[in-house]
A and B are shown apart, each in its own frame.
Chain A
Amino acid sequence: MLAKQVLHFRELLFQEGILFCYSGYMTEEILSSIGNTLKQKMALDKTDKNIARGVFTLFVEQVQNVIRYSSEVEPIERGDGQADVELRYGLLTIGQKEGRHFVSCANMIARQDVERLRGNLTKIQSMDREQLKAFYKEVLRGATPEGSKGAGVGFVDIARQATHGFQFDFHDVNEEYAYFCLKAFI
């Protein structure tokens, strides 16, 4: 029964073309390990160098978004006078379907941030390559606006690398939180 259940889960993932799936607390160590394995897998598959770089970029920027900004946080009190560590929860999937590679990340965000984020992403999504380039440089040079928590350069980088675009969506979970998902394609 157990194996059958898990096999069913695996089949659901495979139907979606998912090769990597991680749901849990995201840390820099997780980023390093999955990142290295992702590179190995793409090297084995002889993935085109520029595509592999793009997929890796989508992966790094999305995972770092979760590590820094997911609202689902588990504080760890170190109690040794050092800054407390926080673990942030997210769901990552990487895969390939219908000839396109994709990287998707999802995490909780505060509902009050939804409209700002939706506005930023809609704006970036509507830009062509030249506009994205100009905006990328503008954001790189500007100081990160307080509270925006960098909802700038990482997303612009994702938009630039995602040769087949990206989708995003929000879903209210309760009064305080909404679930945010972004899926980018190459």
Chain B
Amino acid sequence: METIHVEATERTPEIHFDFARNHFAIRGESYPEDVAEFYGPKVRSLAAHVGQLQGASIEFHFELIYFNSSSAKVLIGLFDLLDEAAEKNQVEIQWHYEADDANMEELGEEFGEDVSHATFRMVAKD
């Protein structure tokens, strides 16, 4: 599958899905006008790709500044998808947050609690 790369805008994050290397990243602000329209096709491609992987090494970086509640629905779906994939693959999820951003740190910890198969790493940035 071809790499999906979308630059960040004021209200949507950068999306970088490198299917060949199994490196994925979402970076920036996320409060799109229409969450389904923005994430829907990209997440469907990701699910189709990840669903057929076996014994692969997958890395997913989340580097969010702010996300609204509709985006949170997408995020939790991604964590569930990755955790399921980790039953057959090696999956590492990295949650990046600014060191002084208590809120983003707490949200990362909360999402991480439900991840049981994948490795969930909290990464503080200075």
Among residues 31 to 81 in chain A, which have CB atoms less than 8 Å away from a CB atom of chain B? 32, 36, 49-50, 53-54, 56-57, 60-61, 64
The reply to whether B73 and A140 contact each other, CB–CB distance below 8 Å, is yes
Residues of B within 8 A of A (CB): 10-11, 31, 33, 66, 68-70, 72-73, 76, 80, 98, 100-103, 110, 114
Q: Which residues of A contact B70 (CB under 8 A)?
A: 64, 153-154
A141 within 8 A of B: yes
Contact of A50 among B69, B76, B101, B114 (CB under 8 A): B101
- Considering only CB atoms, which chain A residue lies closest to B114 in the complex? A137
Q: Which residues of A contact B69 (CB under 8 A)?
A: 61, 140, 153-154, 156-157
Contact of A60 among B10, B68, B98, B114 (CB under 8 A): B68
- Considering only CB atoms, which chain B residue lies closest to A161 in the complex? B103
- Excluding A61-B68, A137-B76, A157-B72, 4 further A-B contacts by CB distance (< 8 Å) are A28-B33, A53-B101, A57-B68, A156-B69
Which 7 A-B residue pairs are closest in the complex by CB-CB distance?
A157-B69, A153-B69, A28-B33, A140-B76, A154-B69, A60-B68, A140-B73
Contact count A vs B, C-beta below 8 Å: 44
A133 within 8 A of B: yes
Q: Which residues of A contact B76 (CB under 8 A)?
A: 137, 140-141
The reply to whether A153 and B73 contact each other, CB–CB distance below 8 Å, is yes
The reply to whether A32 and B114 contact each other, CB–CB distance below 8 Å, is no
Known contacts A28-B33, A50-B101, A140-B72; A56/B66 CB under 8 A: yes
Q: Which residues of A contact B11 (CB under 8 A)?
A: 32
> What are the interface flags for A140-151 relative to B under an 8 Å C-beta threshold, 1 for contact and 0 otherwise?
110000000000
In whole angstroms, what is the CA distance A133 to B72 when docked? 13
In whole angstroms, what is the CA distance A32 to B10 when docked? 8
Contact of B101 among A49, A60, A141 (CB under 8 A): A49
State how many angstroms separate the Cβ of B15 from the closest Cβ of chain A.
20
Q: List 11 A-B contacts (CB under 8 A).
A: A28-B33, A49-B101, A50-B103, A54-B103, A57-B66, A61-B68, A133-B110, A137-B114, A140-B69, A141-B80, A156-B69
